[in-house]
Amino acid sequence: MGDGPAGNLPHYLYCLLPRHDRGMYMGNHIDIAGRLVGNDYPPLVIAEIGINHEGSFDKAVRMVEDAHRAGCECVKLQCHILEEEMIENDVVPANASESIWNMMNRCSLSEKEEEALKELVETKEMIFLSTPFSRAAADRIKRMGVSAFKIGSGECNNYPLIQHIADFGQPIILSTGMNDLKSIAVAVDILEKSRVPYALLHCTSLYPTPYEKVRLGAMVELAQRFPEAIIGLSDHSLGNYTCFAAVALGAAIVEKHFTSDRNWSGPDIPISINPEELADLVRGTAAIHRALGGRKEILAEEGPTIKFAYASVVTIKFVKQGELLTEDNIWVKRPGTGEILAPDFYKVLGCRARRDLLVNSQLTYEDVDL
């Protein structure tokens, strides 16, 4: 990738530094319903309900409640107004057995149902997001009073729709599957000219995504190419492994498909995490974030461990006054409570004892004729 802004530090390592250690990025974040999102803050975990409800309002309610119990801050649905989104067709997605037209016709929720779900989410003090797939859907979501917009990978190069949403002036989270840096740059230009805060999520649009196709390096590449963006991962691989790795590489947002029950039917159910896995994702990403940054130095809190873990210079034989100190009569042993520690062993080696020393005595500088 070449050198990052921190001199000779590679960019992927530079991403591990806290924002306050990266002068040019200080304060880089977006605000979603009062929740600050960026590398100074715990990663935002988005539970993507999507169409896993299969058009059932009751299933959607259960997933919201289960996500809340799992400790998740944010849930996301999809807003489909079929006649505004697509023309009737018989295209069958790779992870489905019916046309996308029939699938979305069955899975679409009404505006009233979506409003009720948003109210439920917000009564639980969670963030409600929804992805529009048409101009009409974007307008519906805007009427609902959402705090931010999530744009899916299929719309990453739908520049007219991106411009329409950007004109609302609210934060935008943009997934970038099926797009390269060139097409993403056009979308970013729209967002930056519209002066809206934004995040870019690396994504691979394969369901499931084999681990070797996840390409976390692409996420780091996005961070380097678009330094004003908040970076994250929208993941379709199995389990939480790649999300954990993404956070270690600087992801401030991670998104996973979510279901209350993997025995339910639906094209995205096989790649979805369940409530237990969602809870693990929330805990794990927060823990990894706390572990990032810092420098290689001795902590004051390590003092008690130092006392027993370090080694002190001690006699291993009786030493007479005036006797030469050699590896035959002194060595290093725990604990580290002596005056002369192992790093200074060679300072006293070859010196003479000032007095008689018993076996297993920790040496002091008064014992040694330096």
What pLDDT sits at residue 95?
Answer: 86
Q: Within 13 Å of residue 98, how many CA atoms lie on the same side as its CB? A: 11
Task: Evaluate if residue 5 carries a pLDDT over 60.
Answer: no
pLDDT digits over 67-80, tens only? 999 999 999 999 99
Task: Evaluate if residue 253 carries a pLDDT over 80.
Answer: yes
Query: Average pLDDT for residues 83-95, to the nearest whole number?
Result: 93
Local confidence band at 13 (pLDDT 50, 70, 90 cut-offs):
low
- More confident position, 28 or 320: 320
Decide which of 3.50.30.40, 3.40.50.2020, 3.90.650.10, 3.20.20.70 is the CATH code for 11-291.
3.20.20.70
Task: Evaluate if residue 326 carries a pLDDT over 60.
Answer: yes
Least confident of 5-14, 188-197, 324-333, 351-360: 5-14
What pLDDT sits at residue 28?
Answer: 87
Query: Average pLDDT for residues 207-231, to the nearest whole number?
Result: 97
Percent of the chain exceeding pLDDT 70 equals 93
Return d(Cα 142, Cα 135) in angstroms, integer. 10
Instruction: Give the residue among 191, 185, 145 at the shortest CA–CA distance from 167.
Output: 191
Return d(Cα 19, Cα 46) in angstroms, integer. 22
Local confidence band at 27 (pLDDT 50, 70, 90 cut-offs):
low
Task: Evaluate if residue 145 carries a pLDDT over 60.
Answer: yes
pLDDT digits over 254-296, tens only? 999 999 999 999 999 999 999 999 999 999 999 999 999 999 9
Going from N- to C-terminal start, the domains of the chain cover 11-291, 300-369
Q: pTM of whole model > 0.85?
A: yes
What pLDDT sits at residue 26?
Answer: 41
Query: Average pLDDT for residues 51-69, to the nearest whole number?
Result: 98
Local confidence band at 325 (pLDDT 50, 70, 90 cut-offs):
very high
Local confidence band at 97 (pLDDT 50, 70, 90 cut-offs):
confident
Least confident of 12-26, 31-45, 190-204, 344-358: 12-26
- The architecture CATH gives domain 300-369: Alpha-Beta Complex (3.90)
